[in-house]
């Protein structure tokens, strides 16, 4: 059994009406790894997420070449429903993920399980566990439509967690949320990461990503233009800016200080690192 939960080889894909959305994309994700995906809009990040659970190509059609294997399943050989047990995909807009079928938070989390035919006793246990994991305990009987943005998005995560997939894929989960909502969702993701979940997150919130991603992949116009440990990729300030991506502010600042003031500071990727580095550099503690 491979140690890699996700293996993407030479993935090239065109939608029926849009060509070369992904070109020759290859990467692997290990069990327990947290991979961040960054890049400008239109780079193919969402398409890549959808290729991981089979929506691409089964739902959209188009031209697909290459291989995507998730938890041992080749996405071409399995239906989206089958892949849904291995890959949990969370989308950007919290409200649009509500099934529209459930009256309570509990029912919403149970929805996926009931669609997949899990027995009732098992459903209850899984639902309660998932609700607890995302911090929505106590809200089981609330209507899903009464929740805040952050709560709704955490609900969406819970619905996916209940199925206990091998990998969690989140496509810009905080884009539509206010600061509290972003905080809530990132807290859940970090907690899951700490517990050893395999997670793939597409985000523009690079400063947050820097605090929990192991590796980072950058896409531009369908191709991978940077790949590697978070620290390495995020420090490539020129490369990132070339593709219209802002590195974390402290990273960019340090890069400029080194470049224009001739300093040789270590380049931080998080605020904590920056405080430490700058305090030392300025001789203060």
Q: Identify residues 112-151 at the interface with another protein (CB under 8 A).
A: 112-120, 123, 143, 145-146, 148-149
Closer of 65 and 249 to another protein (Cβ)? 249
Strands 215-220 and 34-38: parallel
Scan residues 27-46 and list those touching another protein (CB under 8 A).
39-42
Q: Give yes or no for residue 199 binding another protein (CB under 8 A).
A: no
Binding-residue total with another protein (CB under 8 A): 84
Which residues on neighbouring strands pair with residue 220, listed in sequence order? 223
Closer of 5 and 38 to another protein (Cβ)? 38
Q: Give yes or no for residue 97 binding another protein (CB under 8 A).
A: yes
Q: Give yes or no for residue 20 binding another protein (CB under 8 A).
A: no
Q: Give yes or no for residue 187 binding another protein (CB under 8 A).
A: no
Q: What is the 8-class DSSP label of residue 227?
A: E
**Could you give the strand order of the β-sheet that contains 223-229, starting from the edge strand earlier in sequence?**
87-90, 167-171, 198-202, 34-38, 215-220, 223-229
Q: How far is the CB of 22 from another protein (least distance, A)?
A: 17
Contact at 8 Å (CB) between 76 and 64?
yes
Kind and range of the H or E run holding 169:
strand 167-171
Closer of 81 and 125 to another protein (Cβ)? 81
Closer of 36 and 149 to another protein (Cβ)? 149
Q: Give yes or no for residue 239 binding another protein (CB under 8 A).
A: no
Q: How far is the CB of 78 from another protein (least distance, A)?
A: 11
Residue 131 burial (CB count, 10 A):
25
Q: How far is the CB of 274 from another protein (least distance, A)?
A: 5
Q: How far is the CB of 195 from another protein (least distance, A)?
A: 22
Spatial neighbors of 33 by CB under 8 A, at least 6 apart, are 5, 198, 199, 214, 215
Q: How far is the CB of 26 from another protein (least distance, A)?
A: 24
* C-alpha to C-alpha distance for 173 and 218, rounded to whole angstroms: 17
Reading the block at residue 82, the tokens are 């089958």
* C-alpha to C-alpha distance for 171 and 140, rounded to whole angstroms: 25
Scan residues 150-169 and list those touching another protein (CB under 8 A).
159-160, 163
CA triple 269-38-183, angle to 5 deg: 65
Q: How far is the CB of 110 from another protein (least distance, A)?
A: 6
Scan residues 46-85 and list those touching another protein (CB under 8 A).
50, 53, 55, 59, 79-82, 84-85
């Amino acid at each position: 059994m491979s140690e890699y939960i996700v293996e993407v080889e030479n993935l090239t894909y065109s939608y029926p009406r849009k060509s070369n959305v992904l070109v020759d994309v290859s990467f692997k994700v290990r069990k327990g790894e947290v991979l961040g995906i960054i890049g400008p809009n239109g780079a193919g990040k969402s398409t890549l997420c959808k290729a991981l659970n089979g929506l691409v190509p089964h739902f959209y059609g188009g031209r697909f070449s290459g291989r995507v294997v998730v938890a041992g399943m080749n996405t071409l050989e399995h239906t989206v429903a089958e892949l849904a047990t291995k890959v949990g995909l969370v989308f950007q807009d919290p409200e649009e993920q509500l099934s529209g079928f459930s009256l309570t938070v509990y029912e919403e989390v149970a929805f996926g399980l009931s669609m997949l035919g899990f027995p009732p006793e098992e459903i209850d246990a899984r639902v309660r566990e998932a609700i607890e994991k995302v911090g929505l305990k106590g809200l089981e009987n609330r209507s899903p439509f009464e929740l805040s943005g952050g709560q709704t998005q955490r609900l969406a995560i819970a619905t996916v967690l209940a199925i206990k997939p091998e990998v969690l894929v989140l496509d810009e989960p905080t884009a539509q949320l206010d600061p509290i909502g972003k905080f809530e969702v990132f807290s859940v993701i970090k907690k899951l990461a700490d517990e050893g979940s395999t997670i793939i997150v597409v985000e523009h919130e690079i400063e947050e990503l820097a605090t929990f991603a192991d590796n980072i992949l950058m896409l531009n116009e369908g191709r991978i233009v940077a790949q590697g440990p978070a620290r390495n990729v995020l420090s490539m300030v020129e490369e990132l800016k070339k593709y219209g991506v802002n590195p974390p502010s402290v990273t960019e600042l340090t890069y400029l200080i080194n470049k224009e003031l001739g300093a040789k500071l270590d380049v931080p990727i998080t605020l904590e690192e920056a405080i430490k580095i700058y305090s030392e550099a300025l001789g203060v503690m």
